[in-house]
Amino acid sequence: MKPYRSFIYIFLAVAGCGSSLVIGFNALIDPFGVTNSPRIHGINQSKPETINNTRLYKAIDLTRQDAKTIFLGASRLEEALNPDSPALAEYQPVYNLAMQGGTFYEQRRYLEHAIATQNNLEVVIFGIDLWLLALPESTQLGFDENRIGKHHLRLLEFLQTHLSWNTFNKSLETLGKNRQKPDTIYYHPNGLRDVGYIDIKFTHWLPFIVNKKKNDIVPETLENIRIIRDLCQEHGLNLRVFITPPHAIQFEGATIAAGESKIEDRKREIVKIMPVWDFSGYNSVTTEPLSSEMTQYRDSSHFTIPVGDLILNRILQHNEDTVPNDFGVLINSNNIEEHLGLIRGDREVWRKNNPDAIELIQTFKR
């Protein structure tokens, strides 16, 4: 029996050393940005895998903050609402907790996570994408219910994440990409996603929105918006809410696909819950002429940081003289019908003046 026992001891020792080396290497390179290991230029400073694991990364990164203000929303906020905007000088520290493709359920749960982990939280800036109201309230890759409210990775989750050949491969990829492009930024320390590495056509999202078949409001989306409102009221948080502004060509594509009344109904339902700033439609910002040198839109769905600054200026009453008069209207149950009527008129004018844009939308219809 002794030879077998010796073999077992040797095997366990080798396996233990090997496992320790894998865990140590993964924790050092930290491809998902969760161990907060030192960032070394050319080694692990740039973390491309955080983009594919946003829900894991931001859940942990938030616990390192002492945020007074957070942003809730999807990719439009994540890319274009800058925590360092001058309008937010009195609201610091600010953390951008928005996530690409974040459903309202995920946004609600991450608000609960922020309430549990941020002792000085006072303000929530919540951006509503109208198209999300017609999507099922699912969760996406990296979301974990057991992570909500926790200040750190659980031991089991740490081992599952770091004692993993998948993570080991991601660590090797991270190391390789840092050697090639060591200065690429994916997320800033304040949660803002950097889009400098992204290169897509302006019309990238148009086929999706133009051909969307299911456009009825999913009731659970409205319920989660109500819960977000109620959570803020319960915890004494100052909630500022706005409807995000896709480019007019995107808004028009959605209107053609869903029908004008269904787009309007989404706003009607939102103001039943609470007043909201509406930046969507056909205004002097969203109707930026299509060209190769656009400054206000990165693509038809995503606006840029200068537009995000205008939104913050409006909803926080900061330097409002810099904001176009037609950009941002506070709507409620009393003025909603008048507001929708004005948008209908603006739509007709825009359609008349932009026949090429209407023709472009039609080319994406399947």
Where residue 186 sits, what CATH number does that domain have? Answer: 3.40.50.1110
Instruction: Using the predicted structure, report yes or no on whether residue 309 has a pLDDT greater than 90.
Output: yes
CB-count exposure of residue 229 (10 Å: 0-12, 13-18, 19+): middle
- For residue 105, the enclosing domain spans 54-153+182-363
The rounded distance, in Å, linking the Cα atoms of 25 and 31 is 10
Helix (H) or strand (E) holding 307: helix 305-315
More confident residue, 287 or 161: 287
* 32 falls within a domain: no
Local structure of 348: helix, strand or coil: helix
* 13 falls within a domain: no
Local structure of 196: helix, strand or coil: coil
**pLDDT score recorded for residue 1:** 47
Instruction: Using the predicted structure, report yes or no on whether residue 180 has a pLDDT greater than 70.
Output: yes
Helix (H) or strand (E) holding 95: strand 94-96
- Kindly give the pairing relationship between strand 69-72 and strand 94-96: parallel
Q: What percent of the chain has pLDDT over 90?
A: 75
Local structure of 248: helix, strand or coil: helix
Instruction: Using the predicted structure, report yes or no on whether residue 72 has a pLDDT greater than 90.
Output: yes
Nearest to 307 by CA among 291, 322, 317, 290: 322
* 326 falls within a domain: yes
pLDDT mean over 343-358: 96
Instruction: Using the predicted structure, report yes or no on whether residue 237 has a pLDDT greater than 50.
Output: yes
pLDDT mean over 90-96: 98
**pLDDT score recorded for residue 11:** 47
* 128 falls within a domain: yes
Phi and psi torsions of 93, nearest 5°: -75, 150
**Omega before 219 cis (within 30°)?**
no
**pLDDT score recorded for residue 248:** 98
Q: What share of the chain is helix, strand, coil (3-state, %, to 5)?
A: 50, 10, 40
CB 240 within 8 A of CB 125: yes
The rounded distance, in Å, linking the Cα atoms of 250 and 348 is 15
The rounded distance, in Å, linking the Cα atoms of 185 and 366 is 37
> Helix 219-234 vs helix 104-117: angle between axes, to the nearest 10 degrees?
20
- What pLDDT band is residue 6 in, cutting at 50, 70 and 90? low
- Give the residue ranges of DSSP H helices in 30-84: 49-52, 54-62, 75-80
List the single range of 67-81, 192-206, 346-360 with lowest mean pLDDT. 192-206
How many domains in the chain? 1
CB 244 within 8 A of CB 129: yes
* 45 falls within a domain: no
CB 29 within 8 A of CB 175: yes
* 15 falls within a domain: no
Instruction: Using the predicted structure, report yes or no on whether residue 193 has a pLDDT greater than 50.
Output: yes
CB 217 within 8 A of CB 133: yes
Instruction: Using the predicted structure, report yes or no on whether residue 179 has a pLDDT greater than 80.
Output: yes
In angstroms, the Cα distances linking 5 to 8, 9, 10, 67 are 5, 6, 9, 55
* 172 falls within a domain: no
* 25 falls within a domain: no
* pTM summary value: 0.93
The rounded distance, in Å, linking the Cα atoms of 215 and 195 is 29
